Chain A
Amino acid sequence: MRQTSKIFTLLYKHGVETLAGSMFIVILSLSWLQVFRRYALDNSSTWTEEVARLLLVWLTFLAAAAATRDESHLAVDILINRLPNTLKHAFRCVVNLLIASVGVVLCWKGVIIVELAMPDHSTSLGFSRALFYLPAVAGGALIIFYSLVNAFQHCRALQHALTNTPPAANDDSR
């Protein structure tokens, strides 16, 4: 039981970026291969570029979800930092709900474009072009999940602040 929750925590905290980081290593290797093949073997390949592009799109939406979880997206926090703690949590809760709404658009409407592109084959390797739009759907779903968790945590912190009870020890909300 504790083992499962440990695995879950690990997945929650590091899962997406491990996946995205691995993709980046593949991209990097492919690009080196590309440069090497072009100049050492005088023979450039057409498929490396397509795979690298596909992985870059996946990496973007996956790692963007990680940044959503950590609330580390580039933002302007000068105004909010001057607010008292309670208001700060209230605002952050609303902001996370707004972020979740973008996740909803990406995930829900992304499915339509995935369906539309499903039968199309990509120019180089001939795999389905839907693979390029799937990251938005997956990333959107992750963004919904993480931002709702964040919103919930801010709400709880707000509730604690209002009832003057100190927040629970494991509350790591910012």
Chain B
Amino acid sequence: MLFLMIIAVIVLMLIDVPVAFALAITSAIFFIVEEVPLASYVQMATKGVDSYTLLALPFFILTGKLMNASGATDRIMELGKAIVGWMYGGLGHANIMASFLFAGISGSAVADAGGLGAVEVKAMEKAGYSKRFAIGVTAASATVGPIIPPSIIMIVYGIASGTSIGALFLGGIVPGILMAVAMMGLVSFLARREHKVERIPFRLANVRTALWHALPALITPFLIVMGILTGVFTATESGAVAAFYALIVALVSKQGLSLVSSWKLIVETVVESAGILLIMAMASVFSWTLAYQQAPQTAVSVLTELTSNPMALLLLLGILYLILGCFIEAIAIVTMTIPVVIPILQNFGIDPVHFGVVLALIMSIGTITPPLGIVMFTLCRVTKVSVPMFASLIMPWLALLIGVVALVMSFPELVLFIPKLAGAY
């Protein structure tokens, strides 16, 4: 039954049924076949979005949009160029640096690819970099978005698993830095093949100016992290504070956001958030049908029979999620499966914060993997590159990022170090 349901979801999605409705239709069929009253269906859908913590999601989406509208994207790119542009493969490094900084104001990889991505690819191609290289760096660096706080997928995981979102946010910092460093290493290596590239000279004055311009944007992540670190506010409250701050910045910035355009951004935020929230609503109905079939119990007994080693289990789950991530949207996967997985983690004594950050990494990688990666689609659309070509150019980056996952998986302290230090965990 379970297997049939997953097939049904994928088939529906392939014929262009939106993700939320593919889940909704499959679950409805289950209810009808099993003669379960559909009123419970509506109740579980509502329950899926009836959460105060979930408010953080639209707050952070609005923060990102406001920051973009006040020119943060360009300024962050300029800052990246000024700091690391002089290195070999300079724009590649700048690209990663920019995504790393941008990650502090946005909660998803798609926001990076859709906003920053188009600018980055254009700039790199203009400077003489190959399309393959430009798109590879841009796609890979976008995946740092949900690892550095804020992070939408961590919010979703935190709610589904009952884990502190503050601790998850703090746990993403070290892995995020690791990703950036690893990717810069790969840039240095790959850049040797890029011949006709102009170098950007380093000037301290440039850094100073760029830093000054980007400062309002850079304060956002600082505000969020410090707020959570010191316990001044919860993750949800930090979202409200960040959105408030971003609104002030947007209203007083040089471009000066008008009230009309602010309203437009709010409507955009609402519709975009509702899209994600509806996926969560329907995925939680789907998840309920899994529980109704006693999938958690089955999963625990099957897995405990398979292995008793937590590391082996972590690896197994990692591979499973990587495969799922290639086909189904991340928020849907997490909402659907986490209620099943949590008892397994408890049985094996795996830390839910450590697992959450590893999961965020894997789900983030899932956005750039063919055949159904959402960042991949976004970039293919803006750069007019075919999916097979993308599939070939992304391979070295995928290998690198999976390496980072393996590292973070093996050393829980990489994740838990900062949350423990802050006492938030």
- Whether A and B touch (Cβ < 8 Å) is answered with yes
Interface residues of A (CB under 8 A from B): 17-18, 20-21, 23-25, 27-28, 31-32, 34-35, 39, 49, 52-53, 56-57, 59-64, 66-67, 70, 72-80, 91-92, 94-95, 98-99, 101-102, 105-106, 109-110, 112-113, 116, 132-133, 135-137
B96 within 8 A of A: no
Distance to closest chain B CB from A22 (angstroms): 9
> Judging by beta carbons under 8 Å apart, are B46 and A76 in contact?
no
CA distance A103 to B407 in the complex (A): 45
A156 to chain B, nearest CB (A): 19
Least CB distance from B238 to A in Å reads: 9
Leading 8 A-B pairs by shortest Cβ distance: A63-B274, A73-B18, A31-B240, A109-B38, A112-B39, A60-B277, A64-B278, A80-B16
> What CA separation (Å) do A20 and B278 show in the bound complex?
14
User: Can you name the residue of chain B whose Cβ is closest to the Cβ of A24?
Assistant: B270
Tell me which of B25, B279, B371 contacts A74 (CB under 8 A).
B279
In this complex, what residue of A is CB-closest to B271? A63
Q: List chain B residues, Cβ under 8 A from A52.
A: 52, 55
Are A76 and B42 closer than 8 Å at their CB atoms? Answer: no
Do A105 and B41 touch (CB < 8 A)? yes
Counting chain B CB atoms within 10 Å of each CB, the highest count among A24, A66, A72 belongs to: A24
Contact of A72 among B43, B50, B266, B271 (CB under 8 A): B271
Measured in the bound complex, the distance between the Cα atoms of B269 and A33 in whole Å is 21
User: How distant is the Cα of A74 from the Cα of B17 in the complex, in angstroms?
Assistant: 9
Distance, CA A95 to CA B16, complexed state (A): 7
Given contacts A31-B236, A64-B20, A66-B274, 8 further A-B contacts (CB under 8 A): A31-B239, A34-B240, A49-B52, A74-B329, A76-B16, A105-B38, A110-B42, A112-B39
Residue in B12, B37, B55 whose beta carbon sits within 8 Å of that of A56 in the complex = B55
Whether A24 pairs with B39 at a CB distance below 8 angstroms is: no
- Residue B232 at the chain A interface, CB threshold 8 Å: yes
When distances are taken between beta carbons in the complex, the residues of chain B under 8 Å from A99 are 17-18, 21
Contact A95 B20 (CB under 8 A): no
Instruction: Report the minimal beta-carbon distance from A135 to chain B, rounded to whole angstroms.
Output: 7
Which B residues from 11 to 62 make CB contacts under 8 A with A?
Answer: 12-21, 24-25, 28, 37-43, 45-46, 49-52, 54-55, 58-59, 62
Interface residues on B, range: 35 or more
The 8 Å CB contact of B275, one of A64, A110, A133, is A64
Given contacts A102-B25, A133-B46, contact A35 B241 (CB under 8 A): yes
For B45, what are the chain A residues with a Cβ–Cβ distance below 8 Å? 106, 136
A31 touches B237 (CB 8 A): yes
- The verdict on B393 contacting chain A, using a C-beta distance below 8 Å, is no
Which of chain A's residues has its CB closest to B380's CB?
A78
Please indicate the chain A residues that have their CB under 8 angstroms from the CB of B371 in the complex. Answer: 78
Q: When chains A and B are docked, how far (Å) is the Cα of A143 from the Cα of B93?
A: 46
Chain A residue nearest to B48 (CB atoms) is: A60
* B332-356 contact mask (Cβ, 8 Å, vs A): 1 or 0: 0000000000000000000000000
Q: What residues of A have a CB within 8 angstroms of the CB of B24 in the complex?
A: 102, 105
Interface status of B263 (Cβ within 8 A of chain A): yes
Residues 358-382 of B contacting A (Cβ, < 8 Å): 371-372, 374, 377
Chain A contacts for B12, CB-based, 8 A:
98
Bound-state Cα–Cα, A21 to B265, Å: 10
Chain B residues near A76 (CB-CB < 8 A)? 13-14, 16, 19, 372
A52 to chain B, nearest CB (A): 6
Residues of A within 8 A of B21 (CB): 73, 98-99, 102
* Residues on the B chain within 8 Å of A31, using CB: 55, 59, 236-237, 239-240
Q: Point out the residues of chain B lying under 8 angstroms from A27, CB to CB.
A: 55, 58
**A17 with B271, Cβ < 8 A, contacts A57-B49, A136-B45 known:** yes
- Per-residue interface assignment for chain B, residues 217 to 242, with 1 indicating a CB less than 8 Å from any chain A CB and 0 otherwise: 00000000000000011001101110
Q: A75-B17, A91-B16, A105-B28 are in contact. Are A60 and B42 (CB under 8 A)?
A: no
With a cutoff of 8 Å between Cβ atoms, the chain B residues found around residue A136 in the complex are: 42, 45-46
- Closest approach, in angstroms, between the C-beta of B243 and any C-beta of chain A? 6
Q: Are the CB atoms of A72 and B52 closer together than 8 Å?
A: no
CB distance from B214 to the nearest CB of A (A): 25
Residues of A within 8 A of B329 (CB): 74
> Can you name 20 A-B residue pairings with CB atoms under 8 Å?
A17-B267, A24-B58, A25-B266, A31-B239, A53-B50, A53-B52, A57-B46, A74-B19, A76-B16, A77-B16, A79-B15, A98-B17, A99-B17, A105-B42, A110-B42, A112-B37, A112-B38, A113-B40, A113-B43, A133-B46
